[in-house]
Structure 1
Amino acid sequence: MVVSTPAMAQVGTVLPAPPVPPSDLDTPAEADLGTQDNAQQADDVGLGEIVVTAQKREQRLRDVPVAVTALTAEALVNRGISDVASVTRAVPSLTLTQGQNPVNNSINIRGIGTSAFSTGVEPAVAVILDDVALLQQAQAFSGLADIARLEVLRGPQGTLFGKGASAGVVNIATQAPGSELTVSIGGQWSQEDYRVETAMGGPVNDWLGVRANGFYVNRDGYLTNLSDNSKQGNEEAYGARLRADITPTDRLNVSLTASYSRNKNDITRTFRYVAPNLRIFAVQPFFPGNLVAPGIVGVTPGPENRNVRLNADSLSDSRQQMYTGRITLDLGFANLISVTGYQDWKLDVQEDVDMTDLPSIGNNPGGVTQPSQFHARQFSQELRLVSQTSGPLSYVLGLYYSDGDTDRAFRRFAFGPGAQFWDSRAGTESYAAFGQATFDVTPTTHIDGGIRFNREIIDVEFTDRRANATAASCGTTCTGRASDNQVTYKIALRQDVTDDVMAYASYATGYKGQGFDVTSGFNPARANNPVKPETSKAYEIGLKGQFFDNWVQMNLAGFWTDYDNFQTQVANFVGGVPTFNLANAPRLRSRGIEGDISVRPFRPLRIDASASYVDAKIREFGNAGCYPGQPFVVGSTPTEPGVCVGATPATGTQDLAGARLANSPKFKYTIAGTYTVELPALPFDGFLQADWTHQSSVNFDIGGNPRALQEGYGVLNGSVGIESDQFRLSFFVNNLLDKAYVTSIGAAAGSTTDAGVNNTNLGLIQFVPRDARRYVGVRARLNY
């Protein structure tokens, strides 16, 4: 089951530990607390006690002034959550904007995320894997396997997690070897896919424990390419991880982990809307008339369109290696922890950009194709001193260093100005010192405070390799370099109302570093003027409690966060063709309420419900780009919301003050329930499980294009099965009501119109996820 919102976890089975894996705890028994001792306690006394390390030290759940959703390994398996994208079903204030390849994905928390084509801008939501921050958020979309827990921390988390956590953190912790030998084999099968994974771990001797796991996924496509009747959306993924925990003395633990994963798919986008006079990367004197219609015969653009016509297969091929070393030394008064990480990630992508099967477009037999290669590498090192004392003062002190580079080679085979051929490199180097402490003013009144100093140096290299390149387009390599120092901090006041109820109030600041806009059209001006850093100020109040002998747990939180210089991608028009650039929205605000309740009305039944209301709006953003077809008046300054002002629609701007953020539902809620059917005469019990997730409407265009609106929708999933200590077998249905929805809507790249300057509606494309339809299957797992 899933529990969400302020520091809520699945009661009795969760050990939420965003920054600290089990090896950082004092003993193996404590590491297993959330899955063994508490599980028994839940059977005996309602929902059980929860121990978390959300502030990098062990605390009771209701002692932590942090908003966090935690999913256990059991919850991930039972609900079929096998990748980061599907986590949105369990977290009300979490949304995902998906593109054709993972580089264009954006994880959003409370309406805040970073959707950008640039390789030189970091996300607002940090992704942590086994205590190591991923350099590119795209690295997180390679699937989940052998996971101990996954947590989503909401709001600025910069004090403990650094500059990439201005909106929140998604933390993933993998399984440790454990104190006993265990073997598990699991799988999932449906009418078009299967997944197999296995793991084995345990002690080799008194000082060595080892765990190994592997997985394989194969999925048939769910989109149809009418050009050759082939399927698009096929996926093949596999990976393996090996971990060794070495304990040469009672005071020293060394954990070494190596992993490799690969994910290859040919998912593509589909047309949502095609203007009557639409063309792609075309110049009117050479290509009069509608070029798109003859190339999409049989395709009906619309919200439920699952057909395309392509003459070049899409491709996304991701390969990742990660190596982590963790050393924990018990100093008596504190634990000294060292975490060393190295990551190497490669991604090859190819897109049929014109999304037609016409070879004439772009004067290229394959149409307009766009191959690109990414290669990211990062080394990181963190040292932490975590107190062990039980007195009125506890603390975490740390030092951090990272050095990362991302190379990208980009090509676009197109006609005229649409053609691109460039290479780039974006680098980042960070130094940080941080500390956080808790002081017990009285036995029932506590103050938590933390501060972090961060220094970041970024640099860029860009070379335009087209034959007609000039110095103005970086035909001679452009370079840029910038640095920034920033201090973030947090303070929280906690009051124990009773032994089982706590109220808190907190204030925190967040920071997301400056970055270069590394995309087509890069020039010396961009190299000399990176996008400004994004900063935030967050206020939060909350209440956490256990009631009726812990048969009810409830958590409430209200938040108010102001952002300055929010980094966002906007569309500008050059010769009628939309181009995408990064810009700073001067001010925006995200505020709202989150709440959850877990109830065990009687022993066999458990119900978890959570909901969020998020009001995420732009407060100031004058001179923003206009969307295609926006009402237009001739003028020099935007004066009325929703109206494009300028000399022509192609050069016009608008004032977005008061507009909602892209892909930010105002309301979202989940209800999940499990009923256990005891079968005393049989060696197993039965169960029924169902969950419902609903969200209100969103617009995927920050400019407010009404054609980019996704209406509100709900998704119902369920399963029925049998289980014992050794096995679990369930039959499941995904999206029982067969509700269609999309996870992104945007302008078709290179789309133009006859007039070239009217930009009337142009073309819109969308991403239809595989889960946006009904399918059934079976899941099975054996444990030894």
Structure 2
Amino acid sequence: MRKGIVWLSGVATIALAHPALAQEGSIAPANTPSAPATANPLARPGDQQGSATAAADDGTLEDIVVTAQKREQNLQDVPVAVTAITADTLVNRNVATVNDLTRLAPSLTVTTGAVPTNNSINLRGIGTVAFSTAIEPSVAVIVDDVALLQQAQAFSGLSDIARIEVLRGPQGTLFGKNASAGALNIVSQGPSARLTGAVTGTATTDDEYRVDAVISGPVTEGIGFRINGFYGDRDGFIKNIYDGRRLNNDRSYGLRGRFALAPLPGVAIDLIAGHSVTESRGTARTFRNVPTGAAIFGTPVAATLTGITPSETNFYTAFNGPLFNKSLQTNGSGRVTVDVGFANLISITSYQDWRFNFIEDFDYIVGTVVGLPNGIIAQSGFHARQFAQEVRLASKGGGPLSYVAGLYYSDGKTDRTFDRGPSGPVVARWNSTSGTKSYAAFAQASYDLAATTHVDAGLRFNHEKISGRFLNLVTPATAPANNATCLVECVGAASDSVVTGKIALRQDLAKHVMAYASFSTGYKGQGYDISTGFTPTRAAVPVRPETSNAYEVGFKSRFLGNRVQLNVAAFWTDFKNFQAQSGVQLPDQTIQLTLNNVGKVRTRGVEVEWQARPSEAFALDGALSFTDAMIREYPNAQCYTGQTAAQGCLPVAGSATPFQNLAGQRLANAPRWKANMGATYNILMPDMPFDAFIRGDVSYQSSVKFDFSNPALVQKAYAVANASIGLDQKDRGGLQVTFFVNNLFNKRYASALGISSGGTAGLVAQTFSRNAQRYGGVRVRFGF
């Protein structure tokens, strides 16, 4: 009933509102930007202000402006492999979360954990899954020039976004130490030059009801604003047959305000503040494979399986404990740009505060476990906050030399509590704090060696201080019952300095045709593996930093009268001390997870992206990637649960624990092949007040392993197709109605696989995303 009221309220608002959505369009081909109808003097560089038509009047492709190198550049002039996804594309392809980006960006995958803090964004096979309080990711997420402290903050949904740039390969020179594999650069919409706004309502067959609203425009001379808000409520798609709960739901809402001011000639101020809340009945797992006689912590699984058939298409589970998580995020930033004549002096000050709490049934079965009637309950809370200050000087261009140089400082801190019990052999109860302070100086310049030959070079010096504190709250503290040998408290502190850099040579082969070759070094900082099982050894010796050497050659082109765009990149990257999560089963049957330094890893491959406008009404786009991400050296990897000597789990001299050699194994969630294709056809109706459109897209990925140490955790290759049709008023305002179907052929696929903690060998659980089943919906937008 409550959902129906929310939806009806949204429809009533649509009927009464005056807004129009400047950033959404009906005829935009994928991956093309929307050009503003009127220039906005308050807009900061990189903002997308409005969306007249996504292609030029003659039906050719428009130029795409990106800020992949911290200054505005044409996408085709940037010696970086970049997928630029505009506001139109995000709406037209039903991209609502970071997970959905995998359908559009080559060699991008997302690994889904039980909670967002266990998620991982991966590029070219490289990503970091860690259960530690605050281990850095390999892929940085930057929102409006501010790097998020915790990658999990990125999984709160997308709203009122102007553009997302997926930057593949090391980006540490300009974006910092946690971008060793790449970065997601997210740019929100800025104030518009005229009063605009919109209300958009969405309803789906899987019981989602969502309302988005935005209003933007000038306040007075020199002052502009933009305010957007959203509310969404979607029921769960995993059924708990024990009590009827529908799990994996999502309820979220948020508000963001943005003000642009020009108080003096040559001075621009951009202020952004936002708050969002996301909560759900967890990310429930289901059983894929259950061996005969399987048990969890000694309790047979068979009784739990009444009415459930474990399989690759099982969307049913049963357990009698809680499952819930909630995220609250507040961000604020201020950017001041001063024209100093020969360049722009830019200052960016930011503060972010993120709180996340979860509680879950740890054993995931019905019945008494280790003497507890409701089984083992685990709960944890995170509180992360960071202050950051960046100052940079960016040239205005116009000569043979252009550059950006700057200084950066950040101070981040994450507190975490953890409680698993309340009694029995798997109890763990602790508090922790992880801190990081970074100081950096960077510079990158482009110089025209000749009219058609250009060189880009950059360096970054980074100094970081990290700290870790682990307080064991189990009394009495006796190892290994609580899986921790810090009997009271462990404290650690360390620092490190590094210089990373990049050099690229660009050659213009013809008009709209450019080739480049680049070399760059990547770095991901050291960190404390603060999790259950933390020891004095971990406190004294943090996980070593991850480094890489990356080589890339690329080709960017437009031809056939500017109607076809073809971009190709080939890459080869060698990683040393790659940070990877693994687990070993303890005597009490729990899985103790630790972060290790894999000896050497290599990723190499080819990525191809294309767009075409055969006619003004017809647009095509697509991508294809081949990625060979392999472990080269990892001689002493932990064995997986149940692994035998015949399967490679061999004794090691001087150690009571056997190990396996993983050299030659593929990295986790790194498909060799990924591909996507999309098409938009606009049906022009000159005698009607509106036009119609038809869209479709399909994405494919080959098989993957979700744990490079365990050959049983494999998801087979799959393809997913989506389609939509609709009507749109020609004046870009008024009404747009879209009917869509996601996963048209109802293809089931897992977004994560794992061995149940405390479970019998071969007991495999799986995680599904919402997109792993078919659902349809309608989206209605009205505005001015």
What's the TM-score, normalizing by structure 1?
0.92
Taking the aligned partners of 1:348 and 1:195, their CA distance within structure 2 comes to: 24
Work out whether residues 697 and 723 of structure 2, in 8 Å CA contact, stay in contact via their aligned partners in 1: yes
Partner of 1:692: 698
Taking the aligned partners of 2:235 and 2:134, their CA distance within structure 1 comes to: 34
Offset, 1:308: 1.1
**How big is each residue's C-alpha offset from its partner over 1:71-96, in whole Å with a ceiling of 9 and x where there is no partner?**
11111111111111111111121001
Partner of 1:596: 609
Partner of 2:296: 280
Taking the aligned partners of 1:184 and 1:565, their CA distance within structure 2 comes to: 49
Matches within 5 A, 1:182-201: 182-191=196-205, 192-201=207-216
Paired AA for residue 601 in structure 2: L
1:44 aligns with 2:58: yes
Partner of 1:67: 81
Paired AA for residue 251 in structure 1: G
* Correspondence for 1:235 among 227, 250, 268: 250
- Distance change >3 Å, CA 355–CA 496, structure 1 → 2: same
Offset, 1:416: 3.1
Work out whether residues 339 and 383 of structure 1, in 8 Å CA contact, stay in contact via their aligned partners in 2: yes
Partner of 1:623: 636
Which of 299-308 and 368-377 deviates more? 299-308
Paired AA for residue 514 in structure 2: M
Taking the aligned partners of 1:178 and 1:263, their CA distance within structure 2 comes to: 28
1:446 aligns with 2:454: yes
3-state DSSP of counterpart to 1:75: helix
Taking the aligned partners of 2:466 and 2:499, their CA distance within structure 1 comes to: 17
Partner of 1:307: 316
Work out whether residues 34 and 51 of structure 1, in 8 Å CA contact, stay in contact via their aligned partners in 2: no
Gaps of 5+ in 2: 1-22, 24-28
1:418 aligns with 2:426: yes
3-state DSSP of counterpart to 1:517: coil
**How big is each residue's C-alpha offset from its partner over 1:433-486, in whole Å with a ceiling of 9 and x where there is no partner?**
000000100011000000000001110110111112169722321100010101
Taking the aligned partners of 2:756 and 2:569, their CA distance within structure 1 comes to: 40
Taking the aligned partners of 1:716 and 1:35, their CA distance within structure 2 comes to: 29
* Correspondence for 2:354 among 326, 345, 368: 345
1:218 aligns with 2:249: no
1:261 aligns with 2:270: no
Matches within 5 A, 1:247-258: 247-258=262-273
Offset, 1:363: 2.4
Paired AA for residue 202 in structure 2: Q
1:393 aligns with 2:401: yes
- Distance change >3 Å, CA 513–CA 67, structure 1 → 2: same
Offset, 1:247: 0.7
**How big is each residue's C-alpha offset from its partner over 1:185-208, in whole Å with a ceiling of 9 and x where there is no partner?**
112111211111100011000111
**How big is each residue's C-alpha offset from its partner over 1:748-768, in whole Å with a ceiling of 9 and x where there is no partner?**
1232x4xxxxxx32x221111
Taking the aligned partners of 1:237 and 1:36, their CA distance within structure 2 comes to: 27
Taking the aligned partners of 2:464 and 2:45, their CA distance within structure 1 comes to: 37
Paired AA for residue 306 in structure 1: F
Matches within 5 A, 1:305-704: 305-358=314-367, 360-413=368-421, 415-469=423-477, 473-575=485-587, 576-633=589-646, 643-646=648-651, 651-704=657-710
Which of 577-586 and 467-476 deviates more? 467-476
Partner of 1:748: 756
Gaps of 5+ in 1: 3-7, 16-21, 283-289, 634-641, 754-759
**How big is each residue's C-alpha offset from its partner over 1:493-526, in whole Å with a ceiling of 9 and x where there is no partner?**
0000012100000001000000111110111111
Offset, 1:365: 3.0
Partner of 2:32: 11
Partner of 2:767: 767
**How big is each residue's C-alpha offset from its partner over 1:7-59, in whole Å with a ceiling of 9 and x where there is no partner?**
x98235379xxxxxx99x9874976778557x376232511233333212222
3-state DSSP of counterpart to 2:754: strand
Taking the aligned partners of 1:734 and 1:277, their CA distance within structure 2 comes to: 38
Taking the aligned partners of 1:415 and 1:27, their CA distance within structure 2 comes to: 60
3-state DSSP of counterpart to 2:471: strand
Partner of 1:756: none
Taking the aligned partners of 1:40 and 1:419, their CA distance within structure 2 comes to: 57
Taking the aligned partners of 1:450 and 1:83, their CA distance within structure 2 comes to: 32
3-state DSSP of counterpart to 2:579: strand
Offset, 1:563: 0.3
* Correspondence for 1:86 among 100, 103, 118: 100
Work out whether residues 535 and 565 of structure 1, in 8 Å CA contact, stay in contact via their aligned partners in 2: yes
3-state DSSP of counterpart to 2:528: coil
What's the TM-score, normalizing by structure 2?
0.92
Taking the aligned partners of 1:481 and 1:497, their CA distance within structure 2 comes to: 52
Offset, 1:362: 2.9
Taking the aligned partners of 2:315 and 2:422, their CA distance within structure 1 comes to: 25
Taking the aligned partners of 1:222 and 1:49, their CA distance within structure 2 comes to: 41
**Percent of aligned positions that are identical:** 48
RMSD: 2.2
Work out whether residues 90 and 96 of structure 2, in 8 Å CA contact, stay in contact via their aligned partners in 1: yes
Paired AA for residue 222 in structure 1: F
Which of 364-373 and 505-514 deviates more? 364-373
| Count of equivalent residues | 745
* Correspondence for 1:718 among 682, 702, 723: 723
3-state DSSP of counterpart to 1:258: strand
Paired AA for residue 675 in structure 1: Y
Work out whether residues 503 and 520 of structure 2, in 8 Å CA contact, stay in contact via their aligned partners in 1: yes
Work out whether residues 651 and 658 of structure 2, in 8 Å CA contact, stay in contact via their aligned partners in 1: yes
Offset, 1:538: 0.5
Taking the aligned partners of 1:115 and 1:694, their CA distance within structure 2 comes to: 23
Offset, 1:662: 0.4
1:204 aligns with 2:254: no
- Distance change >3 Å, CA 33–CA 698, structure 1 → 2: closer
